[in-house]
Chains A and B, each alone.
Chain A
Amino acid sequence: MASRYDRAITVFSPDGHLFQVEYAQEAVKKGSTAVGIRGTNIVVLGVEKKSVAKLQDERTVRKICALDDHVCMAFAGLTADARVVINRARVECQSHKLTVEDPVTVEYITRFIATLKQKYTQSNGRRPFGISALIVGFDDDGIPRLYQTDPSGTYHAWKANAIGRSAKTVREFLEKNYTEDAIANDNEAIKLAIRALLEVVQSGGKNIELAIIRRNQPLKMFSAKEIELQVNEIEKEKEEAERKKSKKTV
């Protein structure tokens, strides 16, 4: 009887579901993959770039956005919804600085976005935002943070996470490969993010977008060339590992 309970989202179903929220989560699963990794001195966001039409200007499609100098987010789901949320978050970052004289903590802005999303699950005539967000950054105390929000308005801190299409596959990969060695230095953390994305992205490095924040430094978007370099390194390492394995077996 799901159809009777998804008209107005303020209505619970008899077994306690909010179907509109669950449908929103389905919309998120249709979006392109985004992965976030929290290193020791770096936070990395990687997204799968959807292939653009021939005449479309590629640069206008940005899935990784800075919210302030020290916080940025990537999303999966409805782009238009994300634009609204990002705008509100950016205003809130500056508003906070104006009233409290301090930049926002990553947790604060995550909580703000999550509260905003929750409000839309409890209002008449509105539908939930169809996006999940990965929010990364450094706080004043220099500790790196990664948070994930979903359309229901919950948020959690993660060491590494993925959202969007094939998020499950990527998350399993991360669970296997996120070790202390893997994030030992910045470069390793970046490679881990790319390797995670390469699991699910077709045609390799061309369809990956990457951004990092290092402690006390602003957001850095990687150029296509830099990503190519990293991908090539990864391929080389893979070949090395293959060769070593085959040597052993022979």
Chain B
Amino acid sequence: MALQDVCEWQALDTQGASPHLPQVGVWAVPRGCDPQTFLQIHGPRLAHGTTTLAFRFRHGVIAAADTRSSCGNYVECPASRKVIPVHQHLLGTTSGTSADCVTWYRVLRRELRLRALREGQLPSVAGAAKLLSVMMSRYRGLDLCVATALCGWDRSGPALFYVYSDGTLLQGNIFSVGSGSPYAYGVLDRGYRYDMSTQEAYTLARRAVAHATHRDAYSGGCVDLFHVRESGWEYVSRNDAWVLYSELQKLPGPEKEGEEEATPDRAGEVGEPSAGPGPAPAPAPAPAPGDSRMPAEIETL
């Protein structure tokens, strides 16, 4: 208006939000404080503790995780699901803030479904990882914490990508995420081979998570195991972490693992005398103290 221009008078913006309210996407902190540092000192403690791992090998991609949701020193839920299916051929392991992970996976699922309808086929795992990474990178600096490994099978075979909410997107053969990941990496690096059999892969994954739950306070509960094959994902088992760890302690060392795993048909046998440190020509009449029961015999879902 002409008068407005002459007097340089600004009309009050009564339609918009009050300037005293916090802006969208920003925390309301006392004046003069930087939101990031304020949150670090005084902010709510969000749940970050977990052990998840995923690795790809010849027969697909294995995803395993513990089931303890912790909030500081308090175990929020001892039996949570940290591996989330996205579609028939795609799983995601989640670590970081549980709420963020679940929400973003729902958004990812919606986006992939829309693209599948538009293009007539689902995007590749690389495409899905890129999508998730791009969606989250718009919220950088706002304390989103989603550290996830996308495990899937697409046209290029088994595929594994690591996505972090600051925008990191990595491709790799082995990823472990969470507070228990150093312990899991130790075990994984020892036993990983691309040409493993499926049973070997299962054992390796269970062993890695069990060891991590043993040492990391924020990991525990049970060990979930998933396998993505060419035909889709499969929920292999849920084993109690402590029971699993005890069983593993009774087994001979990793060098002998090859002999044990070569006989998966022993899974159904209970109390069979073990071969012990060296192969025995005939089974001993009484069960030997070193029981060679495989972890796979523990109650499975």
Are B131 and A102 in touch, CB under 8 angstroms?
no
Are A100 and B155 in touch, CB under 8 angstroms?
no
The A102-155 residues at the B interface (CB cut-off 8 A) are: 102, 105, 107-108, 140
Are A99 and B124 in touch, CB under 8 angstroms?
no
Q: Which of A102, A105, A107, A108 contacts B124 (CB 8 A)?
A: A102
A208 to B37, CA, bound (A): 70
- Return chain A residues, CB-CB under 8 Å to B134: 99
Are A101 and B130 in touch, CB under 8 angstroms?
yes
Q: Which of A101, A107, A108, A140 contacts B127 (CB 8 A)?
A: A101
Q: State how many angstroms separate the Cβ of A114 from the closest Cβ of chain B.
A: 14
Q: B13 on the interface (CB 8 Å rule)?
A: no
The B69-88 residues at the A interface (CB cut-off 8 A) are: none
Are B124 and A101 in touch, CB under 8 angstroms?
yes
Q: B123 on the interface (CB 8 Å rule)?
A: yes
Q: B269 on the interface (CB 8 Å rule)?
A: no
Q: State how many angstroms separate the Cβ of A90 from the closest Cβ of chain B.
A: 20
Q: Which residue of chain A has its CB nearest to the CB of B115?
A: A100
- Return chain A residues, CB-CB under 8 Å to B131: 99-100
- Return chain B residues, CB-CB under 8 Å to A101: 123-124, 126-127, 129-130
Q: B119 on the interface (CB 8 Å rule)?
A: yes
The B195-237 residues at the A interface (CB cut-off 8 A) are: none
Q: State how many angstroms separate the Cβ of A102 from the closest Cβ of chain B.
A: 6
Q: State how many angstroms separate the Cβ of A120 from the closest Cβ of chain B.
A: 21
- Return chain A residues, CB-CB under 8 Å to B155: 140
Q: Which residue of chain B has its CB nearest to the CB of A104?
A: B119
A102 to B127, CA, bound (A): 7
Q: State how many angstroms separate the Cβ of B153 from the closest Cβ of chain A.
A: 16
Listed residue (A101, A105, A107, A140) with the most chain B CB atoms within 10 angstroms of its CB: A101
- Return chain A residues, CB-CB under 8 Å to B129: 101
- Return chain B residues, CB-CB under 8 Å to A102: 123-124, 126-127
A105 to B123, CA, bound (A): 12
- Return chain B residues, CB-CB under 8 Å to A99: 127, 130-131, 134
Q: Per-residue 0/1 for A35-55: is the Cβ within 8 Å of any B Cβ (1 yes, 0 no)?
A: 000000000000000000000
A20 to B232, CA, bound (A): 51
- Return chain B residues, CB-CB under 8 Å to A140: 155
Listed residue (A99, A102, A105) with the most chain B CB atoms within 10 angstroms of its CB: A102
- Return chain A residues, CB-CB under 8 Å to B130: 99-101
Q: Which residue of chain A has its CB nearest to the CB of B161?
A: A101
Q: Per-residue 0/1 for B111-134: is the Cβ within 8 Å of any A Cβ (1 yes, 0 no)?
A: 000010001100110110111001
A100 to B134, CA, bound (A): 10
Q: State how many angstroms separate the Cβ of A227 from the closest Cβ of chain B.
A: 37
- Return chain B residues, CB-CB under 8 Å to A107: 120
Q: State how many angstroms separate the Cβ of A216 from the closest Cβ of chain B.
A: 15
A101 to B124, CA, bound (A): 8
Q: State how many angstroms separate the Cβ of A215 from the closest Cβ of chain B.
A: 16
A4 to B187, CA, bound (A): 80
Q: State how many angstroms separate the Cβ of A112 from the closest Cβ of chain B.
A: 11
Q: State how many angstroms separate the Cβ of A137 from the closest Cβ of chain B.
A: 16
The A82-112 residues at the B interface (CB cut-off 8 A) are: 99-102, 105, 107-108
Are B127 and A105 in touch, CB under 8 angstroms?
no
The B115-161 residues at the A interface (CB cut-off 8 A) are: 115, 119-120, 123-124, 126-127, 129-131, 134, 155
Q: Which residue of chain B has its CB nearest to the CB of A140?
A: B155
Q: Which residue of chain A has its CB nearest to the CB of B125?
A: A101
Lowest 7 A-B CB distances belong to which pairs? A101-B126, A100-B127, A101-B127, A101-B130, A100-B123, A102-B124, A102-B127
Query: A101-B126, A107-B120, A108-B119 known; 9 other A-B pairs, CB under 8 Å?
Result: A99-B130, A99-B131, A100-B115, A100-B127, A100-B130, A101-B127, A102-B124, A102-B126, A102-B127
A residues whose Cβ falls under 8 Å from a Cβ of B:
99-102, 105, 107-108, 140
21 A-B Cβ contacts within 8 A? A99-B127, A99-B130, A99-B131, A99-B134, A100-B115, A100-B123, A100-B124, A100-B130, A101-B123, A101-B124, A101-B126, A101-B127, A101-B129, A101-B130, A102-B123, A102-B124, A102-B127, A105-B119, A107-B120, A108-B119, A140-B155
